[in-house]
Amino acid sequence: MHMRKTIIAGNWKMNLTPAQGIVLVSQVWDAIKDTDLTDRKVVFAPPMVSIVPVADKMKNMPNISVAAQNVSSHTSGAYTGETSAQMLAASGAQWAIIGHSERRAYYNETNVELALKVSCSLVENITPIYCCGESLIERNKGTYKACVERQITAGIFHLSPDQISKIAIAYEPVWAIGTGETATPAQAQAMHGFIRDLIASKYGTQIANGISILYGGSMKPGNAKDLLTMADIDGGLIGGASLKAADFIAIIKETL
Ligand code: PGA
């Protein structure tokens, strides 16, 4: 057994109004409130406009917290449309998804910019969930380890040992996101082990063994157990299935 926290995070992406989000949170809470969630974290990442109402709703729900889906790489100023880490923290967000593949692909977020986002979040005591993962082309070419190594070294290896101990990582192969195709437990485990070894090579095994690495990409009730029982898979970052209360609840229950 390791001492890592199990994290089940729902990434709602651009779905659900604030009112719909609150309903979903209540449904999930009702189903899990009587279970022992020690060493587990359930995280909801709603759109920005829902962070305040969702965080408010969760005030008396221990082990459940809110994540932003993005954070600015700047602290304040003339950046129209952006939201700073300080604002997110003040709104109740305790986590931030950083470097999701959709942000990398559609908004051209680079590893350099993501490194700044990670640092800005940590200053405000927001836990980054730093995402990495290769495309289908990189998987087929056999360059997927090099891709993930680049994302990890450029995005988080500027951190001090103390800082990196505070983050979580999500491995999300792009070819498995929203496609219904999941990495096999063995494929995912191989990459999680690779990521942990990379961290160990710079920060030592004790720090590497303490960092939760989540798997993301078409995780659902039917495959969650097989993925979550792998040695280096410490939770899930769940898109589609996190929008359906029954599915998200079933995945959480696989960790109990
Ligand atoms: P998915 O999305 O579960 O719908 O594949 C995962 C993610 O993008 O975080």
Q: Is 74 a catalytic residue?
A: no
> Has 100 been annotated as catalytic?
yes
* pLDDT score for 167: 98
Determine the atom of ligand 1 nearest the C-alpha atom of 242: 3
Predicted pLDDT of residue 1: 43
- Other Cβ atoms within 10 Å of 139 Cβ, number: 18
Pocket-forming residues, ligand 1, beta carbon under 6 Å: 11, 172, 177-178, 216-219, 237-241
Distance between CA atoms of 213 and 129, rounded to whole angstroms? Answer: 9
Q: How far is the CA of 217 from the centre of ligand 1 (A)?
A: 5
- Taking alpha carbons only, the member of 181, 180, 197, 182 closest to residue 231 is 197
| pTM (predicted TM-score) | 0.97
How far CA 123 is from CA of 76, 86, 88, 116, in Å, comes to 13, 8, 12, 11
Q: For residue 25, with 0-12 CB atoms within 10 Å meaning exposed, 13-18 middle and 19 or more buried, which class applies?
A: buried
Q: What whole-number distance in Å separates Cα of residue 135 and Cα of residue 147?
A: 9
Q: In this structure, are residues 118 and 68 in contact, taking their beta carbons and an 8 Å threshold?
A: no
The residues near 173 (Cβ < 8 Å, ≥ 6 apart) are 133, 134, 139, 144, 183, 187, 191, 217
Q: 169-200 as b/e, with b when 16 or more CB fall inside 10 Å?
A: bbbbbbbbbeeeebbebeebbbbbebbbebbe
Q: Which of 127, 115, 116 lies closest to 89 in space, CA to CA? A: 127
Cα–Cα distance measured from residue 126 to residue 163, given in angstroms and rounded to the nearest whole number? 11
Tell me the three state secondary structure of residue 9.
Answer: strand
Q: Give pLDDT, residue 2.
A: 55
What pLDDT, on a 0 to 100 scale, did the predictor assign at position 172? 97
Reference 11, options 39, 47, 37, 40; nearest CA is 47
Per-residue pLDDT of the chain (256 residues; tens, 9 = 90+): 457 999 999 999 999 999 999 999 999 999 999 998 888 999 999 999 999 999 999 999 999 999 999 999 999 999 999 999 999 999 999 999 999 999 999 999 999 999 999 999 999 999 999 999 999 999 999 999 999 999 999 999 999 999 999 999 999 999 998 888 888 999 999 999 999 999 999 999 999 999 999 999 999 999 999 999 999 999 999 999 999 999 999 999 998 8
DSSP string across 196-241: HHHHHHHH-HHHHHHS-EEEESS--HHHHHHHHTSTT--EEEESGG
| Distance, CA of 143 to CA of 135 (rounded, Å) | 10
Tell the residue nearest (CA) to atom 1 of ligand 1.
239
Per-residue tokens: 105: 């692909």
